[in-house]
Amino acid sequence: MLTLLAFVLALGLLIAVHEYGHYRAALACGVRVQRFSIGFGKPLLSWRRPGNPTEFVICALPLGGYVRMLDEREAPVDPALKHLAFNTQPLRARALIVAAGPAANLLLAVLLYALVNWIGIQEPKPVLSSPAAASLAERAGLRGGEWVAQVALADEQPQAVPSFVALRWQLTQAALAGRDLRLWVAQQEGGELRELVLPLSELDVREIDRQLFQRMGIVAPWSAPQVGEVSADGAAAAAGLRAGDLVHRVDGQAVNDGQHLRALIRQAVGPTGQPLAQRWDIERDGHLLSLSVQPRPELQDGVWVGRVGAFIGAAPAMVTVRFGAVDGLLQGVEKTAEVSWLTLKMIGRMLTGQASLANLSGPITIADYAGQSAGLGLSSYLLFLALISVSLGVLNLLPLPLLDGGHLMYYLYEAVTGRSVSDLWMERLQRVGLAILITLMAIALFNDVARLAG
C-alpha cells in the first residue's frame, strides 16, 4: 500500500508541476487555457474557479497530463478571441510556453534538493569497506577502513566528501566521464591524509550497477563483521549463529569488516556447486566460540556462490549532512545541473551503444523505488522526487516529436527558415516520434519485468 501511495503521489505531483509550468507561461503570454488535466481518459473530478475560463480535471489514468489551449488548428476560434489563441502568438511566446513545462520540473528539483539540504539527511560516513579482490581500489593501495576526506578529478580543485553517498556520486561521474579520480584518505577520521589515484579511465562503463562498483572495488561503507537477522531455515541458523555474533576469523583468516566477510561466504563453494565448510571464530556476549558453518550454494548469473541465510554486517556509522540557507540552495542548483548532465550523457551513451539499454527503467521500477524511499523517511523520498523530476524535465526536452523538445525543434526550424513545418511533415514526424516512444516504453517495461524476475 505504501508503494502505491508513494508512486501515485510522486506521479501526480511531478505531472501537476510540469503542466502548471505550461499553464502559467500560457497565461503570462496572454493565451487562454481551455483545460488543465492531470491524467488521461475518463474525468474523475473537474471544477472551475470563478472568473477563470479554465476547466481543471483529474482523470482516471494518471500517466501524464496536458494543457489544452485555445488554438485554431484544433477547433474554430471566435474572431473576437483570436488574439488569445496559441497559434497566433509570436514564435518566442510559443517557445516559452512549451519550454516552461520541463523548466518547472527542473526548478522543482532544485527546490527539493535544497529542502533536503536544509532539513538534513542521515547518510553513512565516507569510510571504505574492504575492496573487492583485484579491483581498482585494491590496486590503488586501499585496504578498507580508510576515511575519505576529499576527491578531485585530474587537476581540478579537491571537494570535501560529507558522506559515502556523496563519494558514490563522485565515483559515478568520474567513471562515466572516463577520468581518473584522486582521493585523499586517512586511516581514521581527522587523521593524516595521503593521496592516491583510482584509475577509473580503465573501466568500460555500460551500466551503473553493483558490478561497476565491484570493479572499482568500492561497494559499501565500512561495517563491523557482525551477524544480523538470521533466517530460521538458513545455513547460519543450522550452524548455531545468532544475531549479534561478531566474527573475528574464518578458517584462521582475520575478518576485516562486513564486506570482507560477505566475500568469504560467497567463496565457500566449489566450481561445480559443492558446499565447502568453514570454521568461524566468533565473539558472543564477551565469550569466544568456534563454529562450523557450511554456506549453501546458489547459482547467481551463471556462477555458484555461497549463502548463509543471514544479514551480514552491522549498520555503518552515520553522519547528518545539512547545509545552511544559501549553501543549501546553491547545492540544489549544482546537483540539479549535475544530474541533468548525467542523464543526457547516459542517453547519449545508450544511443551510441556505449551504455546498455538495461539502464532504462519503467513504471514498475519507479513505483518500487518510490515505496522504498518513502519507507526510509521524508528526506529520502524528497531525493527520489527530485531525481524523477530532473529525469522528466530532461527527457521532455529531447528533440522527439510528441515531446516538448520536439515542438521546440519545430520552432527552431521556423526561426531559421521563416516558415513553419508543413502539416504533412508534422504528421510524418509525429508517427516516427510515437514509434520511438512506444519502443522505449516497451524496453523499459521489459527491463522492469527482468528485474522482478531476477
Look at the chain and count its residues: 454
Q: What is the DSSP string of 270-327?
A: -TTS-B--EEEEEEETTEEEEEEE-PEEEEETTEEEEE-SEEESPPPPEEEE---HHH
**Which residue among 19, 195, 283, 334 is the active-site one?**
19
CA–CA separation, 427 vs 406, rounded Å? 13
CA–CA separation, 87 vs 94, rounded Å? 8
Residue 199 Cα distances to 147, 179, 203, 215, angstroms:
19, 7, 8, 11
Backbone phi and psi for residue 369, each to the nearest 5 degrees, phi listed first: -65, -35
271 strand-pairing partners: none
Residue 260: exposure state from Cβ atoms within 10 A (0-12, 13-18, ≥19): buried
CA–CA separation, 57 vs 146, rounded Å? 55
Grid cell digits, residue 148: 575519505
Active site residue 283: no
User: Among candidates 170, 132, 119, which has minimal Cα distance to 148?
Assistant: 170
CA–CA separation, 441 vs 452, rounded Å? 17
H-run or E-run covering 1: none
Instruction: Name the residues annotated as catalytic.
Output: 19
